[in-house]
Amino acid sequence: VAANVQPAAMAAAGGFVRELERRGGPALRLEQREAGDVGCVVWDAALVLAKFLETGACPLARRAVLELGAGTGAVGIMAATLGANVTVTDLEELQELLLVNIENNKHLVTGSVRAKVLKWGEDVTEFQPPPDYILMADCIYYEESLEPLLKTLKDLTGPDTCVLCCYEQRTMGKNPEIERRYFELLQADFELEKIPLEKHDEEYRSADIHIVNIHRKRAVG
């Protein structure tokens, strides 16, 4: 794991804060929760993707961005500090944490950011038209979610939507099979291009954390 991808937690009432340094000014302060499901902490893939956004490789100012499985909101909030108009989404139980983190960092936001419930596989009409970017960090980790997640990606993407999917390659248990299956299913409708490690943030990178740029396949003919 990259040098900077380590817990730098500070004790706080009911949770602990993860600071995420920014090139452009004060760090993001991301509250996490000691109790709760996997979305309550900032995962390494979120750090890597948030810091990749800061490299400027993808223009974000005034772009519409939607984050899936946002957890603490680290990635989406970083995008909003880079001028994007962001909707961070997750299950109902993560909304309180998302709202706290939006509030804590709102003085750093130069675009806009709001939180919404989006459960994979369910209706996405309220998120139309397709955003410019969909961001996902560490969202490929359990089998039952693969088909609903794929449906959401198909329903939400237009021909020009760029999906940035960051994930940690895991070698334990069912993880390799889940990753393999996800990319197999994805390739029916999408084209994938891995972003080389040299293009990730110089410090926040790791050989086992990948960023894949995903686009809808264009109709032939």
Binding positions for ligand SAM, rule: CB under 6 A: 37-39, 42-43, 45-46, 69-72, 74, 90-91, 94, 119-120, 137-139, 141, 145, 148
- Estimate the share of the chain in helix, then strand, then coil, as percent rounded to the nearest 5: 30, 30, 40
64 vs 91, which CB is nearer to ligand SAM?
A: 91
Q: Kindly report the length of the chain.
A: 221
Tokens 């340094």 sit on residue = 21
Of the candidates 136, 133, 138, 199, which has an alpha carbon nearest to the alpha carbon of residue 167? 138
26 vs 148, which CB is nearer to ligand SAM?
A: 148
Q: How far is the CB of 107 from ligand SAM (least distance, A)?
A: 22
> What distance in Å separates the CA atoms of residue 70 and residue 79, rounded to the nearest whole number?
12
Q: CB nearest ligand SAM: which residue?
A: 39
43 vs 127, which CB is nearer to ligand SAM?
A: 43
Q: How far is the CB of 219 from ligand SAM (least distance, A)?
A: 29
Inter-residue contact 30 to 73 (CB < 8 Å): yes
42 vs 58, which CB is nearer to ligand SAM?
A: 42
